[in-house]
Amino acid sequence: MASLPRYELPPLPYSYNALEPYIIEEIMKLHHQKHHNTYVVGANAALEKLEKYLKGEVESLDVRAVLRDYSFNYAGHIMHTIFWPNMAPPGKGGGKPGGALADAIDKSFGSFDSFKKLFSQVAKTVEGVGWAFLGVDPLSGSLVVGQIEKHNVLMTAGLVPILVIDVWEHAYYLQYKNDRASYVENWWNVVNWDDVAKRYEKAVGGSKPLYIP
Ligand code: MN
């Protein structure tokens, strides 16, 4: 019997007001409870349609439309699932990374400051709605940056995101209005480098990059 996965909205690892003053409680609550939840529901709905088709409960299926929905909503779900723990209250968050992650950033981008400047540009220049991310390239094991429109458009297949910033208007408009640049600059104060370092270590944890036979 066919059984495709289902997803659940993960709890935030801190309270809704924990990222103030940089991201206000009202944004965090709506963003998590309404926006993120919509992607969870949408991904599950797409999988349910596929499952009903597999079980013969419906005779025909517009599989292309269903997979389009799945791509958008699943990507939305996974990006937010990385985004929340990528942040921590001011004091715990912010500053600079250390250890192997800091070395990898220096190796790929020259210095932390060069990385920060580039990543900020990537985030500020997303056309419309989307994301900027720092990812591990499993072919080389190196760090690269990427830009995503919506949740899934322009995503480079295979890259493993370890640090992401949401630049949809719902992530900042209630506090920053149209000033995305200030949101991006302030966001650095709540980046949880411990979480990013853990993701980096998992992504490069094997003895060889993932896609090298
Ligand atoms: Mn969002």
Residue that the structure tokens 């921590």 belong to: 88
Question: Is the full-model pTM beyond 0.85?
Answer: yes
Distance of CA 35 from the midpoint of ligand 1 (Å): 6
Distance of CA 173 from the midpoint of ligand 1 (Å): 11
Predicted confidence pLDDT, tens digits, the chain (213 residues): 789 999 999 999 999 999 999 999 999 999 999 999 999 999 999 999 999 999 999 999 999 999 999 999 999 999 999 999 999 999 999 999 999 999 999 999 999 999 999 999 999 999 999 999 999 998 888 999 999 999 999 999 999 999 999 999 999 999 999 999 999 999 999 999 999 999 999 999 866 666 665
pLDDT of 147 reads 97
Distance of CA 126 from the midpoint of ligand 1 (Å): 14
CA-to-CA separations, 5 to 8, 44, 71, 160, in angstroms, rounded: 10, 8, 14, 21
pLDDT of 139 reads 87
pLDDT of 99 reads 97
Distance of CA 79 from the midpoint of ligand 1 (Å): 8
Contact call for residues 140 and 209 (beta carbons, < 8 A): yes
Distance of CA 71 from the midpoint of ligand 1 (Å): 15
CA end-to-end span of the chain, whole Å?
A: 34
pLDDT of 210 reads 64
Domain 25-83 fold is Helix Hairpins (1.10.287)
Task: Tell me which H or E stretch contains 26.
Answer: helix 25-30
HEC letters along 96-145: CCCHHHHHHHHHHHCCHHHHHHHHHHHHHCCCCCEEEEEEECCCCCCEEE
Distance of CA 149 from the midpoint of ligand 1 (Å): 12
Asked if the domains 25-83 and 99-203 are classified in one and the same CATH topology, the answer is no
Distance of CA 171 from the midpoint of ligand 1 (Å): 6
Distance of CA 80 from the midpoint of ligand 1 (Å): 6
Distance of CA 48 from the midpoint of ligand 1 (Å): 23
Distance of CA 128 from the midpoint of ligand 1 (Å): 13
Q: Which CATH architecture has domain 99-203?
A: 3-Layer(bab) Sandwich (3.55)
pLDDT of 191 reads 98
pLDDT of 212 reads 62
Contact call for residues 162 and 135 (beta carbons, < 8 A): yes
Distance of CA 167 from the midpoint of ligand 1 (Å): 7
Domain coordinates in residue numbering, the chain: 25-83, 99-203
